[in-house]
A = this chain, B = another copy of it.
Amino acid sequence: MLTVIQANSQAVPAADRGLAYGDGLFETIRMSGQKALLRQHHLRRMASDAARLGIPADVDDLDRELTRAARRLGPPDDNHSWILKLILTRGNGGRGYRPPQNPEPHLIASSATLPPLPGPEGVVARCSSFPLTVNPKLAGIKTLNRLQQVMASREFTGAEWELIMKDGADHLVEGTRTNLIARLGDCWVTPPASSVAVAGVMRQYVMERLVLAGETVLERPLPADLAAREDLRGFYLLNSVFGVVAVRSFEGADLPVDGTLATICGPIETLE
């Protein structure tokens, strides 16, 4: 049973384990009126990651609360784009870190306006100096433990749209708020799900679309010297709010911008 908290009008109990320990996860969902883009992808990810954390949240409960939140927070205009954020925490209680035996989760719903969207000409990205460390047992889960991304984001200067985080082996792992995919020769290469802090729903969607289109997708580490690779045909940032964002400049080097991926995926407004 979920206790729902309306973040736009209500406060959160100070005893919430989401605040105390980051004991929970969240989804940031692009909305078009009452409609959630990539709805099933978001719900499936949320339910399966909650299960990994041992937070009891039925996909049907989440589905129902998503509909309610959309109705309550969304504009009547069907074409108006906005952001719905759902935070799921393990609720209150427990003895220190040790969770209660029967947690009563909180679902905290809030709305935000859509940020400016980059155009098809692409964006500027560079590497963050803040390293990314991923616990293998938490890999891919969009938990509330996001201090690494916060610290990396402090390096934004205004000149770049995204900062890419590297692991200890100097591989490109992900952006502060995006997953990565590169077109190298005839293959699409994205860092393995087991290596990323957040396995985004847009990453999942793009991989599905590429496979459906008969393309070859490899989950492999991306080298830091990507821009120097002669077979590089495109480098993209993936995020369920922004869709597919081409990188036109990385670490000061101009990159080829290819519309293939955007064509295969279709306009973000149409994603079911």
Residues of chain A having any CB pair with chain B under 8 Å = 5, 7-8, 10-23, 26, 53-54, 87, 89-90, 95-99, 108, 110, 115, 130-138, 143-154, 156, 176-177
Complex A-B: 25 CB contacts under 8 Å: A10-B14, A11-B12, A12-B12, A12-B19, A16-B19, A17-B150, A19-B19, A21-B150, A22-B22, A22-B144, A22-B147, A23-B150, A53-B147, A54-B151, A54-B154, A96-B177, A97-B150, A97-B152, A97-B176, A130-B137, A131-B135, A133-B136, A138-B148, A143-B147, A145-B145
Knowing A20-B87, A23-B150, A97-B177 are in contact, say whether A7-B11 is a contact too (CB < 8 A).
no
Q: Which residue from chain B places its CB closest to the CB of A133 in the assembled complex?
A: B135
- Residues of chain B within 8 A (CB-CB) of A146 are 20-23, 97, 145
Report the Cα distance A53→B99, complex, angstroms. Answer: 27
Query: What 14 additional pairs, Cβ within 8 angstroms, besides A5-B14, A97-B150, A98-B150?
Result: A11-B13, A12-B14, A20-B87, A22-B147, A23-B150, A96-B177, A98-B154, A99-B153, A131-B136, A131-B137, A132-B135, A133-B134, A137-B151, A138-B151
**Inside 8 A of A22's CB, which chain B residues have their CB?**
21-22, 144-147
